[in-house]
Amino acid sequence: MQVFATYTRAAVVPLVTLALVLASWQAVTVSGLFRPDQFPTMTATLQALGTALGTEALWSAVGATLQGWAIGLLLATVLAVVIGSALAANDVAFRSAASVIELFKAIPAIAILPLVILVLGSTLDMKVFLVAFGAFWPLVIQVVYGVRSIDPTVRDTARVLGVGGVRRFLTVTIPSASPYMATGLRIASASALILSVVAELVGGAEGIGRAILFARNAGVTSYPTMYAYILVSGLLGIVLTGAFFLVEKRAMHWHESQRNAKDNELGAR
């Protein structure tokens, strides 16, 4: 019972706050503080959201955004794991490449967007390239640090037992580096979503970003739809980040950092 009460209370406070926020949204729009061509009412927006959720247009836009996000991120991950592990294996190679990687990581990926649009057009390829370019540099750094953080005892044990080549890569190197890669992937996933939306807004590729812009261009009557689409893009962010969070918890349960997290959580209760 005690536990049940705690959980109820934990859910009530956020719900009350959410209700308050929604109510004040309605208040500032109905009272005329914001005009309908600035900020539509909460009820109109939620209604538009309900309608939009039933349309194919929304789901194909969401699908297109997810497609660009997923392919770009996958491409960046594969490249980062291969190149990162290779660099980490050799001190000279690592030190030589580090400055170049840092430099490219510091360059805002969006700088090359007009060039990419020019060469690839308003296509999925354009979006994928931008996402992969933006996600690759932070990921490859994480892979390098992850592989280099491998416990020397584990490494030497693997060598003594004659575990080598692909098998060592899959059973020793990758698991050792995985906590770093998980952190890198979480950061890369967020920036991949941002870059997907940018590629759609500026580059005109199909997706939720373009849908938002089209709704704005369609005039004041479709503003509730525009805000509904923005809410959808936020929900997309929640789903993607949440999924990574859960996968990380599941897949990394054996790792020290997660074990500590669990202990701390238990201790805090």
Partner 1 sequence: MTTATTGSTAAGRDGGSPGSASAGGAGVGDAVAVAVTDVPSTQVTATPGRRAAGRRNRGRNLLLALWLPVVLLVGWWFLSANSTSPYFPPLQVILQSVWDEWVIGDAKTQLWPSLRHLALGFIGGSLLGVLGGALLWRLPVLRKGTNPIVYFLYVLPAPALLPAMIALFGLGEARQVALIAFGATWPALLNTLDGMRGIDQVKFDTARAMKFSSLRTVTAVVLPGASPQIAAGLRASLQVSIILMVVSEMIAASEGIGYFILYAQTVFAIVTMWSGIVVLSVLGTLLNYLFVFAEHRLLGWYHGSRAVGTDKA
Nearer to partner 1, 75 or 261 (CB): 261
Chosen residue from 99, 162, 250, 254 binding partner 1 by CB under 8 A:
99
Chosen residue from 23, 57, 78, 102 binding partner 1 by CB under 8 A:
102
Q: At its nearest, how many Å lie between partner 1 and the CB of residue 54?
A: 21
Chosen residue from 1, 3, 166, 238 binding partner 1 by CB under 8 A:
238
Q: Give the DSSP letter of residue 37.
A: T
* Relative orientation angle of helices 56-88 and 91-106, to the nearest 10 degrees: 150
Question: At which residue do the structure tokens 């500026």 appear?
Answer: 202
Quote the CA–CA distance of 229 and 235 in Å, as a whole number: 10
Q: At its nearest, how many Å lie between partner 1 and the CB of residue 142?
A: 6
What separation in angstroms does the CA of 233 have from each of 36, 58, 65, 80, 119? 21, 11, 9, 27, 27
Q: At its nearest, how many Å lie between partner 1 and the CB of residue 1?
A: 21
Chosen residue from 148, 163, 174, 251 binding partner 1 by CB under 8 A:
148
Quote the CA–CA distance of 20 and 203 in Å, as a whole number: 38
By CB under 8 A, is residue 139 in contact with partner 1? no
Subset of residues 18 to 57 that bind partner 1, contact rule: CB under 8 A: 18, 21, 34, 37-39
End-to-end CA distance of the chain: 16
Q: In 3D, which of 229, 244, 133, 255 has the Cα closest to residue 189?
A: 244
Question: Sign of dihedral through CA atoms 146, 147, 149, 155?
Answer: positive
By CB under 8 A, is residue 201 in contact with partner 1? yes
Chosen residue from 4, 5, 8, 152 binding partner 1 by CB under 8 A:
152
Chosen residue from 48, 49, 113, 143 binding partner 1 by CB under 8 A:
113
By CB under 8 A, is residue 183 in contact with partner 1? yes
